[in-house]
Amino acid sequence: MKRYCNKTTGEWYNEGSSITRSTEDSLFSGVPTEEQLSEWGFEEWIEPAPTPQQLLEQAKQRKIAEIEAYDASDAVNSFDVTISGQTMSFWIDRETRADYRSSIEAAELLGRTEVKPVFGGQEVTLDIQMAKMALAQVQLYANQCYGVTERHKAAVNALETINAVEAYDFTVGYPEKLTFDVTATA
């Protein structure tokens, strides 16, 4: 779609749109021809080519979006739980980790020695200390991944060429995924 600008009046017009305009002897309302636009002082707007700096910034924005997508993916946000010989991947987001922490603390305050979270539709029994330790490991893993992601973003922002930005490998440096082995409760 073409855009037109009237440099005298500062008006903009988008091709195909209706316009109402007073002429010397009448009122025009409708979709004007290019000839009419020209008579009224409109010129086609040609978007200037981006500068090298703008192209570099666009490449950085694209790479940072890729980093953020990778950070949100199962490649980073997951851990493996083996339940009775079957391994499944899971993730517990920040809010759910806080809920689990509260549940574990409540169970402990009430004198319970175990909690029974559900993974993949299977209830598992964990003693309180094991549950606390597992949750702490997941929290620490999440914090470490966040730090790696932020360092990758900073590194990309410091790059000075489009080639360097495009070649940057943001999949490295993440901690090894956690694995837990538990037994399903009958």
Instruction: Identify which of 146, 131, 44, 34 has the alpha carbon closest to the alpha carbon of residue 94.
Output: 146
- DSSP string covering 82-108: EETTEEEEE---HHHHHHHHHHHHHHH
Do 39 and 66 lie in a common domain?
no
Q: pLDDT tens digits, residue range 142-173?
A: 999 999 999 999 999 999 999 999 999 999 99
Do 23 and 105 lie in a common domain?
no
Do 34 and 126 lie in a common domain?
no
- 94-109 vs 128-158: helix axis angle to the nearest 10? 160
What is the average per-residue pLDDT within 42-57? 94
Do 37 and 79 lie in a common domain?
no
CA dihedral of residues 151, 157, 162, 165 (deg, nearest 10): 10
d(C-alpha 87, C-alpha 5), whole Å: 62
What is the reported pLDDT for 185?
62
pTM: 0.74
